[in-house]
A and B are shown apart, each in its own frame.
Chain A
Amino acid sequence: MKILIVEDEPKTGDYLKQGLVEAGFNVDLVRDGMDGLHLGLSEAYDLLVLDVMLPGLDGWHVLQALRKVGKDMPVLFLTARDSVDDRVKGLELGADDYLVKPFAFAELLARVRTLLRRGTKNKELDALQVADLELDLMRRRVTRAGRRIDLTAKEFALLELLLRRQGEVLPRSLIASQVWDMNFDSDTNVIEVAVRRLRAKVDDPFEPKLIRTVRGMGYVLEAPACA
């Protein structure tokens, strides 16, 4: 998967590149709009991470020029200004998603993966599995090591999310938004409690532990062997 980052702020650019490279992507980084447009036109990228405020040619124009020649790779906008107008403008010009600075890297990674997944047709699975944990989506049943586990509807939704995106660190805000449809930053430790309860049922009686807390970032579900 090849990603182009257009970001003029040196530190932000470097860390974004490092983070995405370490997440397994093939990343090019340029510092201004002209270079971004040039690379975007000449190379084939699967995704573009585009800062709005750029020297020379701003993000809007880069996006516009790319869309005009039929480049339809997903574009994730980064903006420092959280104004409705900016958002609307970006989405109208054909951006696929936007993030307002400051943002959590885990959030960016999650959005990038979602955008990349959007392109590839995900065939509907009727079961998810990791290690000895199995999720039967049709019958909404969970078993681990062959033993049936009873989960509430929300616990099931949370586990399904973690399983569908196994190996990805999911930030709390993303979990709150996906499982409970809560799109505001809640400063209580609701997600921690929910994850702890899920763990008590899914992880505590078993080995190995599958759900891992990544401090300062979020939660990830993965089989230890893959880590």
Chain B
Amino acid sequence: MRLGPRRARSITVRLTLLFAVASTVVLLILGLIVAESVENHFEELDMTELAGKLELIRHVMARVRSPAELQGIPRQMEDAFFGHHGLVVAVQSAQGETLFASGHGPFPQALFDRRHTPGADRHPYVWQADGVAFRGIVAEARTGIAEGAPVVVALATDIAHHRSFMDAFMRTLWLTVVGGSLATGLLGWFAARRGLAPLREMRRQAAGVSAQRLDRRLPVEAVPVELAELAESLNDMLARLEASFRRLSDFSSDLAHELRTPVSNLMTQTQVALSRSRTTEAYREVLESNAEEFERLSRMISDMLFLAKSDNGLIVPGRETFDLADEVAALFDFYGALAEDKGVTLRLEGSAPVAADRLMLRRAVGNLLSNALRYTPAGGEIVARAHMLRDESGSTTARIEIENTGEPIPSAHMARLFDRFYRVDAARRNSGDGVGLGLAITRSILRAHGGDIEGRAGEGSNVFELWIPAADKSDQ
């Protein structure tokens, strides 16, 4: 059982081992094949010689005409085998009586016993006697004696020099294998180190990235093809990190700024009020103004908390089935009087049934409408169009398009409109309308539902389109 993940072995070590093992296996197989064929070659040579001698002996035996002549065999044999070192011959009568024996050592009985085995004259029998190895064959040879039983001929050759050659060969082979493995291992180690040098370089570069220097990127062109993708992914990751990091730090500084203005108002106002004695009316005035300011602050805090929760994935939408158009209608009812006062017409078209969190979506659309209402000039119109859209991939989304007449928002602003505290017109910051969190909340609610919102400029109008997955698809 392992406790926790084990660290993977270093790539250099792995490659080195791999090289060494591979070359060992290859060298070993090669060596064994060579050894086997040399051995076979030796055996073939021996067999050719033994077969030739056997032929000779058969020839000699065929010329023997009477048992008496058998006695003359040794001399003839010695003549025949003169000068053949390492060759031993024995001829036995059918009864097992040795007619002739040359060279060292006796033949083992096992060899003679093989004489009835088919093929014993072609397949050698190897044995050891007095520290000398022999390879021998056994065969019967007919004599020229009429009705005479064939004699048994055993032939063997001393294979000591073959053996010693093979031993030396195997020693060399093993040394070569071991040496070769070591050498390739070492070469492999060098190759791996050299090959991995770009990785170390990347590591060095990556080590230079810090919160203060998030703009650093890895050089994609300078790294080998194999690493280019990795470098690109890392760069993408860095870009995303940089973006979120920047947003976060912008957000903190915006937050501080947003809080500073009302707090400093409150402080100044209160301190001025306290600096001398005033009428009850004047005190009331200050307290009332403070109460309004506090209410704004408190609303900002709860909005911020909502956004913080949504950032941490803690917004879990409930699910009930309803029509988005009905929610828009309810919101139109709510904002109706205000719109009428401003001389703005509200119009609703279509329908879009969803299964979602009704309260959250009401808030999302409400923020959007309140924003639209704020920027629609008198005499303008806000049109909400609800519809379902089936895209190429076959998934259906419920959509609401809210179009309000007004100066088109430049696309540079449009993209950032849903960021926290972002306002198109920086001067509007302290005009008292909202704190610039409404649209950010709208977006986070839609995203929590798996949808999103997008804005685009129309002709003399702005269009905001929000969508969430439709009821049937999101039910799974």
Co-assembled chains A and B? yes
* Residues of chain A at the chain B interface (Cβ within 8 Å): 82-84, 100, 102-104, 154, 176, 180-190, 193-194, 197, 215-217
Are B289 and A216 in touch, CB under 8 angstroms? yes
Q: Does B188 contact A (CB under 8 A)?
A: no
- Chain A residues with Cβ under 8 A from B299's Cβ? 185, 187
Chain A residues near B314 (CB, 8 Å)? 83
**Are A216 and B335 in touch, CB under 8 angstroms?**
no
Select B359's contact among A154, A183, A186, beta carbons within 8 Å: A183
B366 partner residues in chain A, CB cutoff 8 A: 182, 184, 186
**Minimum distance in angstroms from A22 CB to a CB of chain B:** 14
* Contact of B370 with A188 in the complex, beta carbons under 8 Å: yes
Give, as a whole number of angstroms, the nearest-CB distance from B316 to chain A.
7
Asked, given contacts A180-B333, A184-B362, A215-B291, whether A104 binds B433 with beta carbons under 8 Å apart, the answer is: no
- The answer to whether B330 touches A181, judged by C-beta atoms less than 8 angstroms apart, is yes
> Is the Cβ of B292 less than 8 Å from the Cβ of A188?
no
Residues on B with C-beta less than 8 A from A83 are 309, 314
Q: How far is the CA of A180 from the CA of B332 in the complex (A)?
A: 10
Give B325-357 interface residues, CB cut-off 8 Å to A.
Answer: 330-331, 333-335, 337-338, 341
Across the A-B interface, give the 10 residue pairs with the lowest CB-CB distance, nearest first.
Answer: A216-B291, A215-B288, A184-B363, A102-B298, A187-B434, A180-B334, A216-B288, A193-B337, A193-B338, A188-B370
For residue B91, CB closer than 8 A to chain A, the reply is: no
A103 to B331, CA, bound (A): 24
Q: Which residues of B contact A193 (CB under 8 A)?
A: 337-338, 341
Q: Using CB atoms, name the residue of chain B closest to A103.
A: B298
Do A82 and B302 touch across chains, with their CB atoms under 8 A apart? yes
- Closest beta carbon of chain A to B248's beta carbon, Å: 21
Closest Cβ of chain B to A11, distance in Å, is: 13
**A104 to chain B: which residues have CB within 8 Å?**
295, 298
Q: Is B435 an interface residue (CB 8 A)?
A: yes
B residues adjacent to A (C-beta < 8 A): 287-292, 294-295, 297-299, 301-303, 305, 309, 314, 316, 330-331, 333-335, 337-338, 341, 359, 362-363, 366-367, 370, 373-374, 433-435, 438
How far in angstroms is the closest Cβ of chain A from B377?
Answer: 16
Closest chain B residue to A190, Cβ basis:
B338
B-side contacts of A217, CB under 8 Å: 291
Contact yes or no, B292 A190, CB < 8 A: no
Known interface pairs A104-B295, A215-B288, A216-B295; A188-B335 also in contact (CB < 8 Å): yes
Chain A residue at smallest Cβ distance from B364: A184
Asked if A189 and B338 sit within 8 Å, CB to CB, the answer is yes
B298, closest chain A residue (CB): A102
Complex Cα–Cα for A134 and B342 (A): 31
Contact A182 B334 (CB under 8 A): yes
Pick the contact of A216: B287, B302, B334 (CB < 8 A).
B287
The answer to whether A188 and B289 touch across the interface, beta carbons within 8 angstroms, is no
Q: A190 near B302 (CB under 8 angstroms)?
A: no
Is A185 a contact partner of B302 (Cβ separation < 8 A)?
yes
Find out whether the CB atom of A190 lies under 8 angstroms from the CB atom of B287: no
Q: List 4 additional A-B contacts (Cβ < 8 Å) besides A188-B373, A215-B288.
A: A102-B298, A183-B362, A215-B292, A216-B288
In the complex, what residues of A have CB within 8 A of residue B290's CB?
Answer: 216
Q: Return A10 CB to nearest CB of chain B, in Å.
A: 19
Give the chain A neighbours of B303 by CB distance below 8 A. 185
Out of A84, A102, A190, which one reaches B301, CB within 8 Å?
A102
**B334 interface neighbour in A102, A176, A185, A187, Cβ under 8 Å:** A176
In the complex, residue of chain B having the shortest beta-carbon distance to the beta carbon of A171: B295
Verify A84–B330 contact, CB threshold 8 A.
no
Which of A186, A197, A215 has the most chain B CB atoms inside 10 A of its CB?
A: A186
The smallest beta-carbon distance between B367 and chain A, in angstroms, is 8
Q: When the two chains form their complex, are residues B295 and A154 in contact, meaning their CB atoms are under 8 A apart?
A: no
Q: Name which residue of chain A comes closest to B334, CB basis.
A: A180
CB-defined contacts of B292 to chain A, threshold 8 Å = 215-216
Distance to closest chain A CB from B336 (angstroms): 8
- By beta carbon, the residue of chain A nearest B290 is A216
Chain A residue contacts of B363, Cβ below 8 A? 183-184
The smallest C-beta distance from A181 to any residue of chain B, in angstroms, reads 7
| Contact residues in A for B362 (Cβ distance below 8 Å) | 182-184
Q: Taking the nearest CB of chain B, how far is it from the CB of A15, in angstroms?
A: 12
Closest CB of chain A to B297's CB: distance in Å?
8
CB of B280, distance to nearest CB on chain A (Å): 14
In the complex, chain B residues whose CB is within 8 Å of the CB of A197: 337
Taking the closest CB of chain A, its distance from the CB of B391, in whole angstroms, is 30
Bound complex: CA A197 to CA B339 (Å): 13
With a cutoff of 8 Å between Cβ atoms, the chain B residues found around residue A215 in the complex are 288-289, 291-292
Which B residue sits closest to A100, measured CB to CB? B302
CA distance A100 to B330 in the complex (A): 26
- Tell me, rounded to whole Å, the shortest Cβ–Cβ distance linking B271 to chain A: 18
Which B residues touch A183, using CB under 8 A? 359, 362-363
| Contacting pair B433 A187 (CB below 8 A) | yes
Once the chains are docked, how many angstroms separate the CA of A24 from the CA of B293? 27
Q: Is the CB of A186 within 8 A of B302?
A: no
Interface centre among A100, A184, A215 (most CB of B within 10 A): A184
Q: What is the distance, in angstroms, from B339's C-beta to the closest C-beta of chain A?
A: 9
Nearest-Cβ distance from residue A153 to partner chain B, whole angstroms = 9
In the complex, how many angstroms separate the beta carbon of A217 from the nearest chain B beta carbon?
6
CA distance A48 to B256 in the complex (A): 37
Flag if B333 contacts A84 (CB, 8 Å).
Answer: no
Given contacts A102-B301, A215-B291, A216-B290, contact A186 B330 (CB under 8 A): no
